[in-house]
Amino acid sequence: MENGASSFNQFIHEHSFDSDTSSSSVDYSSEEEEQYTDETICPPSPLSQSSRVSRARSLSRRNRHWMHWFRYIVSWLLFPIKFMLGLPLFIYALSRGRRASRTSENFQSSHVQARKRLQTLRDQVIQSATDRRRGVVEDLHLAIEITIEAVFDFFHKAAHCLLSPIDTLKKLVKWFSSDNSGHVDVPTVGSGVSVPVDTLSESDPTPRQRKTGFHSLNTDARTCQDVITELGYPYEALRVVTDDGYILLLERIPRRDARKVVYLQHGIFDSSMGWVSNGVVGSPAFAAYDQGYDVFLGNFRGLVSREHVDKNISSRRYWKYSINEHGTQDIPAMIERIHQTKVTELENSQKIVEEESGNDQPYKLCAICHSLGGAAILMYILTRRIEVKPHRLSRLILLSPAGFHHDSNPVFTMMECLFLLLSPLLAPFVSAFYIPTRFFRMLFNKLARDFHNLPAVGGLVQTLISYLVGGDSSNWVGVLGLPHYNMNDMPAVSFRVALHLAQIKHTRKFMMFDYGSAAANMKAYGSPQPLDLGEFYSLIDIPVDLVAGRKDKVIRPSMVRKHYKLMKDAGVEVSYNEFEYAHLDFTFSHHEELLAYVMSRLILVGASMKQQPGQKSLKNRRKEGQTSSSR
């Protein structure tokens, strides 16, 4: 249906227009003649004039109807004569046209093909730029419109073929002749075509070809790379391999000569998209880059890049990890890759001061982590300090960090008890919590769009989710509509990560994963019980900034204050602040107050670093040990 009119209405308009225009003159002329003759006798009354007009119109309508049928009857009677006389002339003209066009056939075919292909690519780019994701309700509405249009279009063409036999015969002859002479290959709109896309990057600024098809035009399947490059920022993707073989995606907004580096780590059911989803003004990643930082966006295993060095790894083996692996495998691998990249780039740029040329780390690295990312980064620092290894961090900014969860709503408590009770039965059958097929991910994606387009349904879903999480007022429906919840990829959570969170809530301690037996724990930790990380907070040797949300019902402010109290008692340089935010507002909402606070904490880190803090404290401890032994 184009411009609000269906094909059926267009068909009626086309076949009635000629007869209407031809009879209009007769109608008005008859009216004028009658009116003229009557006016010579007596002035016409309004009633008599209207009756004469109605009689004239009915007469003209009746004549028009009979003329319409008479014309088609004569057309069918004269059809054999027209066919016998017109066929030789038509064949002669067709052959003459072929001979005339044979000399320029190659040029015209290539020119037409190039022009049509260019037009197709232009339409494809325009459609992909303007067409956005549709919901299930919109798809049903569109399917009904297309079906009605197809039915009316069929009847329109069938009636045209019956009422215009000569045009039908010409089209048939032209169709057969075009099949015999060959046709031009033009890509259809539905098929996938290669569209040149500008990708702004300092390492590779050349345009690349992106495969675009019909399936991606009605869903918003943008990645973190798409969001960054569309806003004009440079982008770089780094593949990081962990010690246990997982391949992670470390994304970057590169500023290669910068000696201030920030590493951002997402939380549960999230990805690096959360740090750039608010655009240029409200996203921490862009704000840090504009302040002169080299920005790295980390992704945990199982979220964006579900890859492994073992291509034949089973699903059960792949998802066999807990928060332990996030803190002892994923983050160490990504931070070491950041260290190698920065050292190489700064040495090549020759911007290192001579007295710092022998330093192992000629840059300063700060970490901003949210929710589960905060618990993982704390686990990373503590395990590295226990193993006497450098953690290479200068400051931590933790936004509503996980680690303590015993102060929660009754729904979470019920889920924790039920999960711990059923986990031995579910473990052999459930390896992770995610949507496995592209079809169901697409359905979820479209339903999220319906929640956004239908305020009543969206409000109902928002209320239900808020009640399930204890009244948290985050924009849950808006988060579900973000591009990283799309049909091609969607964040997931392994069974062991969920079990680990339930164990932490049950024990009321920031514990490492309990493998279920003393022998397994002894093999992993050297003790029959998992390590209580809260007892090792005295090993934290860098400043920590804790941020809580007063409206956060997922990780309540009392649980963030638990971190603060333990760190303060352990002598850690720690600060605590609260904002009127819910749990997802720290990343998915635009709050200038929070962004200004985070940037102010980053500024506290100096531009130069004489020595890595962790190594300095270890050397001091060794000197203290030597002096005490000499005494």
Q: What would the pLDDT profile of 510-543 be if each residue is shown by its tens digit?
A: 999 999 899 999 999 999 999 999 999 999 999 9
- DSSP, collapsed to helix, strand or coil, labels residue 123 as helix
Q: Is the pLDDT of residue 631 over 60?
A: no
Handedness of CA 572, 575, 581, 584 (dihedral sign): negative
Mean pLDDT value of segment 109-134: 46
- C-alpha 272/C-alpha 325 separation (Å) is 18
Using H for helix, E for strand and C for coil, what is the string for 388-424? CCCCCCCEEEEECCCCCCCCCCHHHHHHHHHHHHHHH
Q: Which is nearest to 162 in space by CA: 44, 299, 368, 15? A: 15
Give per-residue pLDDT as tens, 416-427.
899 999 999 999
Q: What is the pLDDT of residue 198?
A: 37
Mean pLDDT value of segment 68-81: 63
**pLDDT tier, 610 (very low <50, low <70, confident <90, very high otherwise):** very low
Give per-residue pLDDT as tens, 76-114.
666 666 555 555 555 556 555 555 555 455 445 544 554
Give per-residue pLDDT as tens, 536-556.
999 999 999 999 998 888 899
> Partners of 251 in the beta sheet?
237, 297
Q: CB burial class (10 A; 0-12, 13-18, 19+) of residue 410?
A: exposed
> Which residue has better confidence, 507 or 22?
507
Least confident of 171-175, 229-233, 351-355, 491-495: 351-355
**pLDDT tier, 118 (very low <50, low <70, confident <90, very high otherwise):** very low
Mean pLDDT value of segment 1-11: 43
Q: What is the pLDDT of residue 379?
A: 97
Q: Is the pLDDT of residue 9 over 80?
A: no
State the chain's mean pLDDT as an integer.
74
Most confidently modeled of 53-67, 99-113, 122-136, 242-256? 242-256
- C-alpha 529/C-alpha 532 separation (Å) is 9
Q: Is the pLDDT of residue 274 over 80?
A: yes
Q: What is the pLDDT of residue 155?
A: 79
Q: What is the pLDDT of residue 615?
A: 41
**pLDDT tier, 491 (very low <50, low <70, confident <90, very high otherwise):** confident
Q: Is the pLDDT of residue 131 over 90?
A: no
Asked if 332 and 227 touch (Cβ cutoff 8 Å), the reply is no
Least confident of 143-147, 213-217, 519-523: 213-217
Angstrom distances, CA of residue 488 to CA of 269, 300, 301 = 15, 17, 16
Give per-residue pLDDT as tens, 156-199.
788 878 878 888 787 777 777 765 555 444 444 444 444 343 33
Q: Is the pLDDT of residue 126 over 90?
A: no
Least confident of 187-191, 238-242, 291-295, 393-397: 187-191
Mean pLDDT value of segment 390-414: 91
Most confidently modeled of 170-184, 250-264, 297-311? 250-264
Q: What is the pLDDT of residue 89?
A: 56
DSSP 310-379: -TT--HHHHT---HHHIIIIIHHHHHHHHHHHHHHHHHHHT-S-GGGTT-S--SEEEEEEETHHHHHHHH
Q: What is the pLDDT of residue 475?
A: 72
Q: What is the pLDDT of residue 450?
A: 75
Q: Is the pLDDT of residue 249 over 80?
A: yes
Q: Is the pLDDT of residue 330 over 90?
A: yes
Q: Is the pLDDT of residue 334 over 80?
A: yes
- C-alpha 480/C-alpha 423 separation (Å) is 27
Q: Is the pLDDT of residue 248 over 80?
A: yes
CATH number among 3.40.50.2300, 2.10.77.10, 3.30.70.20, 3.40.50.1820, domain 228-348+361-433+492-607: 3.40.50.1820
Report the half-sphere exposure of 522 (CA within 13 A, side-chain side).
4
Q: What is the pLDDT of residue 145?
A: 75
Q: Is the pLDDT of residue 236 over 70?
A: yes
Least confident of 114-123, 248-257, 361-370, 484-493: 114-123
Q: Is the pLDDT of residue 492 over 80?
A: yes
Give per-residue pLDDT as tens, 370-380.
999 999 999 99
**pLDDT tier, 442 (very low <50, low <70, confident <90, very high otherwise):** confident
Domain edges within the chain: 228-348+361-433+492-607, 435-489
DSSP letter at 511? B
**pLDDT tier, 125 (very low <50, low <70, confident <90, very high otherwise):** very low
Q: What is the pLDDT of residue 10?
A: 46
Most confidently modeled of 157-171, 437-451, 557-571? 557-571
Q: What is the pLDDT of residue 205?
A: 39
Q: What is the pLDDT of residue 287?
A: 93
